[in-house]
Amino acid sequence: MERSLTQMSEDYFKAADDINSLIMKYRQQLKEAYKSKDYLKTYEIKRKLTVFYDQKRDILDTAYTLQNYYESEREVLPA
């Protein structure tokens, strides 16, 4: 099954949305950990959030690269 670059970029955007859901979930847990003054749990959640934000940034970078692949090619080639 062949997939176009646009279809693959849509998959990456969907994955970014999934990670965004995880980020929102862990941000809520972070608030609760702050309130309970559980500093070990706070630290662990912050580490997870850092990983999720890094993953989201990488996924979005790939998605935009795939989405605009042919556009950037047109800018380089003379008309």
Q: What is the pLDDT along the chain (79 residues), one digit of tens a residue?
A: 567 888 899 999 999 999 999 999 999 999 999 999 999 999 999 999 999 999 999 999 999 998 887 765 555 555 4
Rounded Cα distance between 52 and 58, Å, is 10
Cβ–Cβ under 8 Å, residues 62 and 10: no
Number of domains in the chain: 1
Report CA 63 to chain centroid distance, whole Å: 10
Torsion 14-12-30-41 (CA) sign: positive
Rounded Cα distance between 72 and 76, Å, is 7
Range of the domain at 12: 5-76
Which pLDDT does position 21 carry in this prediction?
97
Output the pTM of the full model.
Answer: 0.79
Which pLDDT does position 1 carry in this prediction?
52
